[in-house]
A and B are shown apart, each in its own frame.
Chain A
Amino acid sequence: MKIDLAIIGQGAVSPAGVGVDALFHGKPVPVDVATLGQPEKAWPVLRVDQKDPAFNRWQREPRLRRASPITFFLVEAAEQTLTGLSPAERAETGLIVAFSAGCLAYSRRFFEGVLKQGQHTASPALFPETVFNSPVSHVAAVLGLNGAAYALVGDESAWVGALQTASVWLQMKRVKQVVVLGVEEFDPVVLDAYRSVRWLRRQNSTQGFLTSEGAAGVLVSQGVPEKPRIITARDGWIYRTRGQVACAADKLLNETDPKLPIYPTAQRNWLGPVEQATTLKRSLIATDDQPYLGEAFTASAAWNTLRALGRLSPERPRLLIPVWGLNHQLAFLQLGNGNS
């Protein structure tokens, strides 16, 4: 799908720090966290530093007094993308957020409370915050984004779907610009989940990923030819088994321009070997100088997009980013310099 979105703002929150620069230069340090089911077992996890002063202003917002970490990641990243936009411009701005697990921390706490203390003790304060679009609503309200708002769900490829949706809104003239974000929050229950599907990295191993959290996004618009852009966004190469994924990856690569360099993104997750095998004959952009940020699904897809944008140059005016969805579908983005 040709979308041609001009990127007019960027924002990020990650274990490497608050801000887009941290994606390139930060030094995230894993911390050990115990699993829910086996408290004696701990796994390294990359966490966002929630004591970062950048979050102070949001913690004072009355609307956010009960909000879970995912909302704080989201509102900070969104605000960064909106830098310089007037209140009137914000009122004509849409918001699309791509989630994977969504409001996991409060959902787990709510249901664990139901199981341990009984249904009659369920928390009416927590439940509304478990809903996927609650953080979206908070962010739109706090930042004055009066345009349309969607919460989208999926694996990493939901980030691509969110960009495609932004393009549709702009074509329909629903809004003047759209903030598109990917976000994920950590909860110990994911260690039990990812461990059961063998996604986690064991000590002294290079296989498997470190669980991570954070948010990132872009403010996109039409026109503005001098700005870097997302030229193409495609998804829909679905798979269920390991056998199907290699075939899906081949089909995806076959639809891309073989001359374009590829920004690799599988980042030690279980699709890493598939990425290596399918891109053997393609020109890969080195990413070794960038910090490893772990796996945070749609947030990872957004981080990768911002980092790949940083690799555009006059010598490299276009590039491809494969978006390896970990449990549904594969997708890709083609990025380009302004006036490219």
Chain B
Amino acid sequence: MHVVVTGIGAVTPLGENFPASWEALTAGKEAHAPLELFDTSGCRCHHAASAKLPPLPGFSAKALRRLSRASRLAIPAAREALASAGLLDSEGRSLLRELPVSVSTTSGGMGFGEDFVRRVLARKRSHLYSQVARYLPQQQVLDIQQALQFSGHSVIIANACASGANSIGHAAELIATGTADCVLAGGFEAITELVFVGFDCLQATTTDRCRPFDLRRSGLLIGEAAAFLVLESEEHAQRRGATPLCRVTGYGLTTDFFHLTQPKPDGGALVQVMRAAAEQAGIAPAHIGYINAHGTATPTTDGVEAQAYRTFLGDALGSTRVSSTKGAIGHTLGAAGSVEALFAIEALRTGKLPPQLNLQEPIPDIAAALVGANEVAAGMQHVMSVNLGFGGSNAALLFSRSASA
């Protein structure tokens, strides 16, 4: 695939933009804090990784009220990505009036949907219209399109927690097939009560710290974020003089049929998806310098994932470094694959590796590979980001150093 990344942007629980998020991440900070967005008194878990909503210049107070929390996260992240690609004019509008988008989410503007159900059950009839009109995921896409003033093809992928990787992989395929020459890709997710309570009732959330790949792990921390990338064909980027940050060289996707919420115990589907991405890039697993792992810190999945990395990497385990950044920003669900892809790309560019936080007793299968504090790996040529989700969705993205980066 001759596809390059020319812009990135993110709003995460660690920062209102990507540079702030990256700095905090590599400094070992984490966003674990009491959740204040709604009452959690009936839940086991009362903590989450919430993001501070960045200001949105140019929006009136009324316009801001109409935006879902998801849009409040997505618009600034998309704007930052376009700006970093040099595709934003001085008025904050996209320079490309036609710009395809490939985005991901699991719950869109669900907060509005929840308010709607609350009001309907309470027989309150006011403000129903605005909540219905703005809750579906295409409304957040429309919010982005209108805020940045572009239109064009759009696709919204909802493959649970692998969606954020799928949106990038799909964007790369749109370019690889000549369907598009520049695509805004990414994912967004805001914390909502339905989803928080859902994971809580499955006892998938932790009441402790989030400890990916630790023997004492007890569950995930719900997070929220938005992250976007500008993907272009190499020719398109060259024509407009854009400097690539990296290349997208591999994309694998598989469906694991074992169980709706659990991966097959041998990790076979996950190994398959990583191999597919590496084969597409034409590289051996040993050439991958860093893997941003899914690593939710749930008792079942982390063990399967660790085994899958051991199988996939073989003798390279240890020289390939691995960490899950969910220990720092929580599980951002439909945004996870996009945010984590950005972290992998920045590791490739800078050589700095996101440390594995909250590690006390690592899972033996993967202990040798986990990133410690302040680790640096200069000269990496390839990095990978891996995600899996409900329904058995698995996705792996491979990014490679760009000659001109």
- Taking Cβ atoms with an 8 Å cutoff, the residues of A that contact B are 1, 35-38, 99-102, 107-108, 110-112, 114-116, 118-124, 127-134, 136-138, 140-141, 146, 148-155, 158, 161, 164-165, 167-169, 171-172, 174, 189, 192-193, 196-197, 234-238, 240, 325, 327-329
Contacts and interface: CB of A to CB of B under 8 A. Distances in A.
B160 A131 contact: yes
B202 interface: yes
Per CB-CB distance, the 9 closest pairs between chain A and chain B, nearest first, are A119-B42, A137-B391, A132-B158, A37-B120, A127-B198, A122-B201, A196-B128, A328-B138, A141-B257
A114 B146 contact: no
B323 interface: no
Interface of B: 40-43, 98, 100, 105-106, 108, 114, 116-121, 123, 125, 128-129, 132-133, 136-139, 141-142, 145-146, 151-160, 166, 170, 173-174, 176-177, 179, 193-194, 197-203, 253-255, 257, 260-261, 389-393
B136 A101 contact: yes
Contacts of A152: 155-158
A136 B391 contact: yes
A18 B160 CA distance: 30
10 contacts: A110-B198, A116-B121, A138-B260, A146-B255, A150-B157, A150-B170, A168-B174, A196-B125, A235-B153, A327-B133
Contact of A236 (B108, B152, B176, B261): B152
A168 B40 contact: no
A276 B114 CA distance: 36
Contacts, number: 202
Contacts of B203: 124
Contact of A153 (B136, B142, B173, B197): B136
B142 A161 contact: no
A327 B391 contact: no
Contacts of A128: 202, 260-261, 390
B108 A153 contact: yes
Given A115-B117, A235-B153, A149 B255 contact: yes
Nearest to B98: A236
Contact of B153 (A37, A161, A197): A161
B193 A133 contact: no
A286 to B, nearest CB: 31
A193 B41 CA distance: 29
B138 A111 contact: no
Nearest to B156: A153
B121 A115 contact: yes
A194 B389 CA distance: 32
Contact of A154 (B120, B137, B201): B137
Contacts of A158: 138, 155-156
A151 B174 contact: no
Given A153-B137, A196-B129, A236-B153, A133 B158 contact: yes
A155 B389 CA distance: 24
B303 to A, nearest CB: 20
Contacts of A164: 153, 155, 179
A112 B121 contact: yes
B42 to A, nearest CB: 3
Nearest to A132: B158
A131 B177 contact: no
A197 B176 CA distance: 41
A111 B194 contact: yes
Contacts of B157: 150-153
Contacts of A196: 125, 128-129, 132
Contact of B151 (A36, A119, A121, A237): A237
A256 B114 CA distance: 41
Nearest to B193: A114
Contacts of B170: 150, 165, 168
Contacts of B152: 236
A99 B391 CA distance: 16
Contact of B159 (A118, A151, A171): A151
B176 A172 contact: yes
A130 B198 contact: yes
Given A36-B121, A236-B153, 18 more contacts: A119-B41, A121-B42, A122-B198, A124-B202, A131-B158, A131-B391, A134-B391, A140-B255, A150-B170, A152-B155, A153-B108, A153-B137, A158-B155, A193-B128, A196-B128, A197-B133, A235-B154, A328-B154
B152 to A, nearest CB: 4
Contacts of B179: 1, 164, 167-168
B9 to A, nearest CB: 21
A133 B138 contact: no
A132 B106 contact: yes
A133 B151 contact: no
